[in-house]
Chains A and B, each alone.
Chain A
Amino acid sequence: MSLELRQITKSFGALLANDSIDLRVETGEIHAILGENGAGKSTLMNIVYGLVAADSGEIFVDDVKKEIKEPSDALASGIGMVHQHFMLVPVFTVAENIVLGHEKSGFAGRLDLDEARARIKEVSDQFNFDVNPDDLIENLPVGVQQRVEIIRALIYEAKVLILDEPTAVLTPQETDDLLKIMKELKAQGTSIIFITHKLREVKAVADRITIIRRGKVVGTASPDASQNELASLMVGREVELAPDKGTHAIGAPILIVKDLTIRDAVGRALVSNVNFEVKAGEVLAIAGVQGNGQSEVARAMVNLEAHVEGSIALNGTEVIGKSVRESLHAGIAFIPESRELDGLIGSMSIAENLILDLHDLPPYAKGIQMSPSTVVSEAEKRKDEFDIRLQSVSDPVSSLSGGNKQKVVLARELSRPVNLLVASQPTRGLDVGSIEFVHKRILEERDAGRAVLLFSTELDEVLALADRIAVMYRGAILAIVPSGVTAQELGLLMAGVVHA
């Protein structure tokens, strides 16, 4: 089945998310859509799937025009989608999730799941998915949850399957499995739209590549194109995939972590017996696939985790047991994983967000009385120093772009005397310009003799910034390797493979 989009346009307020996009996917083809974060890929696919209404444009399936206003229209036209955030109800079983929206009822309206169970087994066996129809979704690993989504699309006879950033949550091993599955599906005649910003994967499976930048199609390429070519198309200029790290002096250990174990509320270990140290003037990157305990380790550095055992020593002083505030004031700067959720208070002003940590100390406050004018004047200084593009420091911080928001977080966290910078996914969701700014700033902190602990799931970022790389897998550090390691070796480690 072929799918064609003509002149799809969609704007959200002033932002033009999709600008007259044309796209044609042929029968049995894997068509990759490549673009940066925020380029408009997901919006486009949500339009195709009926979750977002386009302002204008037409959709053709097998050259017949279709009105897709609802997901049910898309499903009826043979379009299936595996969403970036899985569309599965966590407290339902696999079978319940799969029948949802297509239920069959028996006597007295009683739900009949038997047919679905049989179909799930059938598809699961066919592709070696190993999915049990009666497992609860919330108990399944993300890789398996994703297969449930694929099974659903197959059972409802999707002839065009949209995969939206499907590898973001997978280990390299799981990613390889997925790529294999995609090829099998293709062999059986399913067309696949593969949304991603990862160049390696595109080169591995795609038949054709369409590149989207700022809501526009900027070109098509074949998988033979080099990574650098694809990257520059994606970003719109020449990019250096591996910037020069420069030379720098490494000093004494600043942070020593010993036997760190972190548990959840019911006592399960999320992180167990982690050991590492970070020296002055050094970047230690903690790499790994999302969800292998890195977030918890990062949060434990400033005591945001509740159940922590072991030792975290900063300049020889124990951090565990202190309050968050004491940890921050002991010389740790902390860039949280999600700036929207944990970094900033959207409805408060930019100036106020810049002093969340210092609001009750001079010069901002005398005793309990605050000085609003000082808050504003200090914010003006920070704004210039960190090149935060804004209209007024009294505007709510939510009015800023992602890059500028991250600069506010950086400006706040680096306004204290700092020995250690803990940065968790500091460039997630940022545009290339902001990524460069953040990277530059991190390297500056390193050159000023601070210890930097960087948590990142992006291989390229890890390779570009780190002096040493620790790989986390299932709550433990598998290995700590020097920065000279190849992407391939790192990928294997992230999949939990330790070789001699």
Chain B
Amino acid sequence: MRKLSIKRPSLRALTLPGLAFLLAMFFGALLIAFSDSKVLKNIGHPIAFIKAAGVAVWQSYLALFQGSIYNPNLATPHDSLLSWGPISETLVTAAPLMLAGLSVALAFRAGLFNIGAQGQFIFGSIAASYVGFHFHLPIGLHIIVAVVAAILAGSIWGGLVGLLKARTGAHEVIVTIMLNYVALYFLMYLLSTTPFLRPGRRDPISPDVLQSARMPLLLGSNYRINLGIFVALAAAVFVWWLLSRSTWGFRFRAVGANSAAAKTAGISVPFVMTAVMAISGALAGLGGAVHVLGSDFSLTSGTAGNFGFDAITVALLGRAKPMGVVFASILFGALRAGGGTMQANTDTPIDIVLVIQALVVLFIAAPSVVKWVFRLKNLKTTGELAAKGWNG
């Protein structure tokens, strides 16, 4: 249907996210500068003030870059490639984020706002880690069983939301917000039970996932990068195919754009809602699996971190398109990975990343702001985020 002319439309599609990102980084810089004690000391001396501000911002953003892409200080005489090591960290963080982002994006395309990726992610990581540390299975098979368990757990937790919406009209936003907490408390409960307690420990941490269930490393033990990123990329291709080339995706999009018309044309809306949320939950659950089998290896109450919520910003930044989600998750993965280095090496806490994320999404949602700041007149924008509300 859609012609595959890649060049110009996609370049133009990048303009808004690019500018929104720049603007967010600018506000981030302001926050860094105005909270820096050295900068504030010079508040009476404009030139010194600007200089100090520049230094603070430069150091922070440099550390951000060094932590996510390239850091020459990491190179050793034997291995100069190690300076590119941060990219590995970026991709390790990006993989689960990409999967959770795809989960939110897929639901978006079917007209559902899946705030529940967090809960589905939690269930995925519970299932994957349980299979990973509790069963003894051959290498290869063990990973597959753990991943399948995570997919199932996530899809049940997600599918439940779709089923409730289809059957009773319960708004998925409310249900998913609430189920996120239920999932979190369930995880905390499990971590207080014997099967999930690490032998010899009384704090809530599970045993480590066995070697046979871990995602294989791609570049040896110097880098944490593992198969997870390819699992995530494969999922992105799958979601693309599902949405634009499959009959299921056709139905998902039809229901997402106008469920009454889809129903009138004979498409089963309850089926679509349940299926979409189940697949969406499966993707988030897979994200949980990639996280615990790829980099975290054990379950704690903070296992899911912020992945499920970052996923929403990823999906919004990626405009709910699989390719967009891939880029957005790598960008936010880089911010997260670099943010850690930045926090360790400078005075700037990693939390600036949250601010940048929120602002990027805000500016993308309100293109008028970006247009106004950059004096753009012809920037093409679409109304993907048009409001629906509780009754919609």
Task: Let me know if chains A and B touch directly in the complex, using CB atoms closer than 8 Å.
Answer: yes
Q: Which B residues are within 8 Å of any A CB, using their own CB?
A: 1-3, 244-248, 250-251, 253-254, 257-258, 260-268
- Bound form: Cα–Cα A158–B246 in Å: 59
Alpha-carbon separation in the docked complex, A368 to B242 (Å) = 9
Say yes or no: B247 contacts A345, CB within 8 Å. Answer: no
CA distance A324 to B268 in the complex (A): 8
Give chain A nearest CB distance to B154 CB in angstroms: 21
Seed contacts A328-B265, A352-B250; 9 additional CB < 8 Å A-B pairs: A324-B264, A325-B267, A345-B258, A346-B258, A352-B254, A356-B265, A360-B247, A368-B248, A370-B247
Decide: A325 and B1 in contact? CB cutoff 8 A: no
Judge whether B265 and A304 touch: CB under 8 Å.
no
The answer to whether B245 touches A348 (Cβ under 8 A) is: no
Report whether A334 and B1 are in contact in the complex, using a CB–CB cutoff of 8 Å.
no
Does A121 sit at the interface, judged by CB under 8 A? no
Whether A11 sits at the interface, judged by CB under 8 Å, is no
Q: Are B254 and A325 in contact (CB under 8 A)?
A: no
**Of residues 320 to 366 in A, which have CB atoms within 8 Å of B's CB atoms?**
323-325, 327-329, 334, 336, 341-349, 351-352, 356-357, 359-360, 365
Assess the A345–B250 pair: CB atoms within 8 A: no
Cβ-defined partner of B260 (8 Å) among A342, A352, A370, A394: A342
Are B245 and A372 neighbours in the complex by a CB distance under 8 Å? yes
Also in contact, A341 and B261, with CB within 8 A (given A348-B254, A368-B247): yes
Partner of B1, one of A323, A327, A376: A376
- Asked whether A357 lies within 8 Å of B1 as measured between CB atoms, the reply is no
| A375 contacts the other chain (CB 8 A) | yes
In the assembly, what is the distance between CA of A370 and CA of B241, in Å? 10
Q: Which residue of A lies closest to B266 (CB)?
A: A325
Interface of A is mostly: mixed
The closest CB in chain B to the CB of A328 belongs to: B266
Query: What's the least CB distance linking A339 to chain B, in Å?
Result: 9
Does the CB pair B1–A352 fall under 8 Å?
yes
Give complex CA distance A342, B260 in Å: 5
- Bound-state Cα–Cα, A365 to B246, Å: 8
Q: Do residues B1 and A368 form an inter-chain contact, with CB atoms below 8 A?
A: no
Contacts of B1 in A (CB 8 A): 349, 351-352, 372, 375-376, 394
B261 near A365: Cβ-Cβ < 8 Å: no
Bound form: Cα–Cα A370–B260 in Å = 23
Docked complex Cα distance between A369 and B249 (Å):
10
The complex places the Cα of A375 from the Cα of B1 at a distance, in Å, of 7
In angstroms, how far is the closest chain B Cβ from the Cβ of A391? 14
Q: Contacts of A347 on B, CB cut-off 8 Å?
A: 257-258
Distance of A487 from chain B, by nearest CB (Å):
32
CA distance A92 to B275 in the complex (A): 40
Contact of B261 among A342, A375, A394 (CB under 8 A): A342
A contact residues around B262 at 8 Å (CB) = 345, 356
Contacts of B264 in A (CB 8 A): 302, 304, 324, 334, 336, 342-343
Contact A370 B266 (CB under 8 A): no
In A390-420, the 8 Å CB interface with B consists of 394, 412
Q: Are B257 and A346 in contact, with the CB atoms below 8 A?
A: yes
